[in-house]
Amino acid sequence: MSLPVQPAPWSGPSPLPGPTTSAGDSLRARARAAGLRLTSGRTACGVAREFTERVLGDWELDQLRDDALTVVSELVANAVLHGPGGDAGGGVESEVLLRLKRRPAHLMCAVTDRGETLPSPGHLGASLEEGGRGLIIVEALSQHWGWTRCNPVGKTVWAMLLAEART
């Protein structure tokens, strides 16, 4: 199991850049960021997947599509389920923030919610329970994953995927 590592601070979502700078330099290798605010309702995962797919296409990271969509789905589902408004939240919708950041060798997927429940990977066993495997899936698909507390409340759970296709 990989140990959670503190990520570099987020500079905040920025607009998607165009394909080239005015000097003609490729922006593919430059860091890029995109963010999406979601409510913790039933449509959050689908909206997050559509957004992620569009951003990956713009960043020419189509080879990460399946892994990134799965990781984003699991992270957003956990934020919706365990954050304020989830099972313990009394049915009140809250805000979830999805951030994608393109680094030279990685794609970082991060989801922030205002929940106090800290992430805890389940365990694979003979159980027939439906839940509890999301972070195990995230760990299997990512090079690193972890979480960071937010001040004054909440947390960010993140995963880093290699930008190159897995063989």
Per-residue confidence in pLDDT tens, the chain, 167 aa: 343 433 333 333 333 333 333 333 444 445 589 999 998 788 999 999 999 999 999 999 999 999 999 999 999 999 998 877 655 445 556 889 999 999 989 999 999 999 888 777 665 555 655 556 789 999 999 999 999 998 888 999 999 999 875 55
User: For residue 4, with 0-12 CB atoms within 10 Å meaning exposed, 13-18 middle and 19 or more buried, which class applies?
Assistant: middle
Task: Say if 23 falls within a structural domain.
Answer: no
pLDDT of residue 16: 36
Task: Say if 40 falls within a structural domain.
Answer: yes
Single pTM value for the model: 0.74
Task: Say if 156 falls within a structural domain.
Answer: yes
Task: Say if 146 falls within a structural domain.
Answer: yes
Give the length of the chain: 167
Could you tell me the CATH number of the domain that includes residue 114? Answer: 3.30.565.10
Q: What is the C-alpha separation between 144 and 135, in angstroms, rounded?
A: 12
Task: Say if 97 falls within a structural domain.
Answer: yes
Task: Say if 10 falls within a structural domain.
Answer: no
**103 contacts 7 by C-beta, under 8 angstroms:** no
Task: Say if 105 falls within a structural domain.
Answer: yes
Comparing C-alpha atoms, which of 72, 64, 34 is closest to residue 164?
Answer: 64
Write the single-letter amino acid at 8: A
Place of tokens 């899936």: 137
pLDDT of residue 130: 57
pLDDT of residue 167: 52
The answer to whether the bond into 152 is cis (omega within 30° of 0) is: yes
State the total domains in the chain: 1
Containing structural domain, residue 91: 33-122+129-162
Task: Say if 20 falls within a structural domain.
Answer: no
Radius of gyration of the chain (CA): 16
Q: What are the Cα distances from residue 53, in Å, to 64, 100, 104, 129?
A: 9, 11, 19, 30
